[in-house]
Amino acid sequence: MSKSILKWAGGKTTLLPKIKVRLDKISNKENAIFYDLFAGGGSVSFEFSSLFKHTVLNDINKEITDLYKVIKSNPLELIEKLLEYQQKHNKDFYYKIRSLDRDQNYKQLDGITKAARTIYLNKTCFNGLYRVNSKGQFNVPIGRQAKIKIYDEMVFMEIHKKLQNIDITNHDFNYLINNNVPKPGDVVYIDPPYDKISDNSFVEYSTNGFSSYDQERLAKDVKTLTERGVYVIVSNSYTERTKKLYAEFFDKNSIIKVRRLIGASVSSRNQVDEILVDNIKQVKENVNKNKKT
């Protein structure tokens, strides 16, 4: 099983075997393109990219997509920088690195320094949270761990190799769907920020968050893809809204108990129900109907 480079809220490592069961029902994957539209920590892309002709890893968070671009092209320089950060790690260093995005020259900073900062903060901040303020500045305090290991060279090089057959894009999920990019027979994995169970559950991954309106336009896109003959697998939290939005896709294995690994507080790490649904049956039925007519 692929290890990830980042601790990411909603990371899908524990769900991978269940996603694999669904992918196994799809034939001809070696000729299909796999779209991971909300890639986050990337565990799904890295685990399954070898089953497909090609993979597109997308996320709206540019810091993550830029990081993957650096690992794809410059892993050794990045590892060198991470080693330096690991050796220098202490409270003052943490806040010095965290404050880089408050500097007006931050945008001009080289890609390797920015990527190293993203990993370093992710591995040393409180609970691996990703949270930015309204200006897009990272604002999570330092974590409590005494010893840190911010990277594993073997994992890095493994992911570097996998990225050679992965395109990295930075769009709102709707962009690729709207532009008719996934074609019939392609496979789209959708893992949006969780639909909110309560108002204080953790769903902030970017400055804009993900609203109930976003959940609804996403479900509409799933319908569009189904009509287009594109296979879709969706995970989300199990709420009244997701139950309604994905009702037609539920099967007997769609409600899953998953222990969330990252929460804003210890109490929000409790076990919660999630959903995993797919449209494979509907797409196959449509294909058969079209063959008959």
Ligand X SMILES: C[S@@+](CC[C@H](N)C(=O)[O-])C[C@H]1O[C@@H](n2cnc3c(N)ncnc32)[C@H](O)[C@@H]1O
Query: Is residue 221 part of the contact set for ligand X (CB under 6 A)?
Result: no
Min dist. Cβ of residue 90 to ligand X (A): 28
Q: How many CA atoms, within 13 angstroms, populate the side-chain half-sphere of residue 254?
A: 20
Min dist. Cβ of residue 100 to ligand X (A): 20
- From 10-18, 85-93, 114-122, 152-160, give the range in contact with ligand X by CB under 6 A: 10-18
Among 11, 128, 182, 229, binds ligand X (CB under 6 A): 11
- Looking at the Cβ atoms of 41 and 229, the one nearer to ligand X is 41
Among 56, 57, 60, 232, binds ligand X (CB under 6 A): 60
Backbone angles phi, psi at 5, to 5 degrees: -95, -25
Backbone angles phi, psi at 239, to 5 degrees: -130, 170
Residues 139-178 that bind ligand X (CB under 6 A): 172-173
Residues 6+ apart with CB under 8 A from 285: none
Min dist. Cβ of residue 23 to ligand X (A): 14
- From 32-40, 136-144, 147-155, 244-252, give the range in contact with ligand X by CB under 6 A: 32-40
Asked if residue 114 lies in contact with residue 65, where contact means CB atoms within 8 angstroms, the answer is: no
Binding mask 177-216 for ligand X (x = CB under 6 A): --------------xxx-----------xx---x------
Q: How far apart are CA 156 and CA 123, in angstroms?
A: 14
- From 55-63, 138-146, 156-164, 282-290, give the range in contact with ligand X by CB under 6 A: 55-63
Among 2, 12, 115, 215, binds ligand X (CB under 6 A): 12
Query: Is residue 43 part of the contact set for ligand X (CB under 6 A)?
Result: yes
- Looking at the Cβ atoms of 158 and 172, the one nearer to ligand X is 172
Among 2, 8, 122, 258, binds ligand X (CB under 6 A): 8
Residues 242-281 that bind ligand X (CB under 6 A): none
- Looking at the Cβ atoms of 87 and 134, the one nearer to ligand X is 134
- Looking at the Cβ atoms of 8 and 249, the one nearer to ligand X is 8
**Neighbour count for residue 32 (Cβ, 10 Å):** 21
Min dist. Cβ of residue 171 to ligand X (A): 7
Pairing of strands 187-190, 166-169: unpaired
Residues 6+ apart with CB under 8 A from 133: 139
Query: Is residue 10 part of the contact set for ligand X (CB under 6 A)?
Result: yes
Q: Dihedral sign, CA of 267, 273, 278, 282?
A: negative
Q: Which residues bind ligand X (CB under 6 A)?
A: 8, 10-12, 37-41, 43-44, 59-61, 172-173, 191-193, 205-206, 210
